[in-house]
Amino acid sequence: MKPASKGNRLLILIPAFNEEGAVGQVVREVQRSMPGVPILVIDDSSADGTAGVARAAGAGVMSLPHHLGLGGCMQAGYKLAYELGYDYVIRVDGDGQHDPANIPKIFNALLTSNCQMVIGSRYVEKDGEFTSAVRGVGIVLFRLILRPILGKRVYDPTSGFVGVNRDALAVFSRSFPLEYPEIEALVVLQRKSFRFQEVPCAMRPRRTGKSTITALKSIYYIVHVLLGVFVNILKYEGPRRR
């Protein structure tokens, strides 16, 4: 992948861990939706053929030397995108849940909204139609907690279908939450007084593989994210931070 030129400012990042059954199709769909836009799959040290399948589909592949989890994986992509000079990055999950047909909508909002971050949201239009009761409870809880912190309502704080501009890219390449990064990332941006916008996007069921958030992990997820949110509010940004 070449450094970004003026006509080549958007990069699609696809984090993938053991997604050989879905990632090839996701890459092809992104190519159809955004022809000519570079695609980088970040392989989080998968045990299957994720890297090979993505490469065969025509994406660039950056393989991590060992498993870092979603946050570490995404930050590696943000760092590379920032160093190569990209102005916009849109994350599309490698499991096929994010419909690449919505990428132009997110990109357009990034270009026109003057926001540093645009979230593809399931619930802007279909509020209350949660895919499961546990998810519904979690999302309502996080909305209540985030509202005073962010100063505005966020409909889908757990969505990973996110686009960022270069200002947010600079922040995320230096500091990005490690586990379950979506909600904490909103707080990280809020600390910089950045703005975000949600655009309605339908999500699909994952094609293959296992979700990073299983039912058993839901309670751990809620506690972890709550702690992460409050730690991010209090975080000391001194000389030790990278």
Partner 1 sequence: MTRLLHVMTAFSGILILLVLISVRRAHIRVEYSVSWLTAAIILLILSLNRRLFYWLAELMGIDYPPVALLLIVFFVFLVVFYRFSIRISDMKDSNIALAQRVAILEYQLRSSHEEQEKSNHP
170 near partner 1, rule: CB under 8 A? no
Task: Work out whether 8 is an interface residue with partner 1 (CB under 8 A).
Answer: no
Tokens coding 131: 């895919």
Which CB atom, from 43 or from 156, has the smaller least distance to partner 1? 43
Q: Is 80 in the site for partner 1 (CB under 8 A)?
A: yes
Closest CA to 229 of 119, 154, 133: 154
Q: Based on the shown chain and the rule CB under 8 A, indicate whether residue 79 belongs to the binding site for partner 1.
A: yes
Per CB under 8 A, the list member of 6, 7, 237, 242 interacting with partner 1 is 242
68 lies in the site for partner 1, by CB under 8 A: yes
Contacts (CB under 8 A) with partner 1, residues 15-54: 42
The one among 30, 34, 46, 72 contacting partner 1 by CB under 8 A? 72
Span near partner 1 by CB under 8 A; candidates 75-83, 183-191, 208-216, 231-239: 75-83
Q: What is the C-alpha separation between 198 and 143, in angstroms, rounded?
A: 13
Integer CA distances (angstroms), 106 to 79, 165, 187, in order: 21, 11, 20
* 65 is a site residue for partner 1 (CB under 8 A): yes
Residue 85 contacts partner 1 per CB under 8 A: no
Q: 21 vs 60, which CB is nearer to partner 1?
A: 60
Q: How far is the CB of 37 from partner 1 (least distance, A)?
A: 17
- Residue 66 near partner 1 by CB under 8 A: yes
User: Minimum distance from CB of 113 to partner 1 (Å)?
Assistant: 29
Q: Which long-range contacts (CB under 8 A, 24 or more apart) does 206-211 make?
A: 206/22, 206/95, 206/96, 206/97, 207/21, 207/22, 207/25, 207/95, 207/96, 208/19, 208/21, 208/22, 208/95, 208/96, 209/17, 209/18, 209/19, 209/21, 209/22, 209/95, 210/18, 211/95
C-alpha dist (Å) from residue 188 to 85, 126, 157, 181, 224? 22, 27, 13, 10, 16
Place of tokens 């990973």: 160
Interface contacts to partner 1, rule CB under 8 A: 1-2, 42, 60-66, 68, 72, 75-76, 79-80, 83, 178, 242
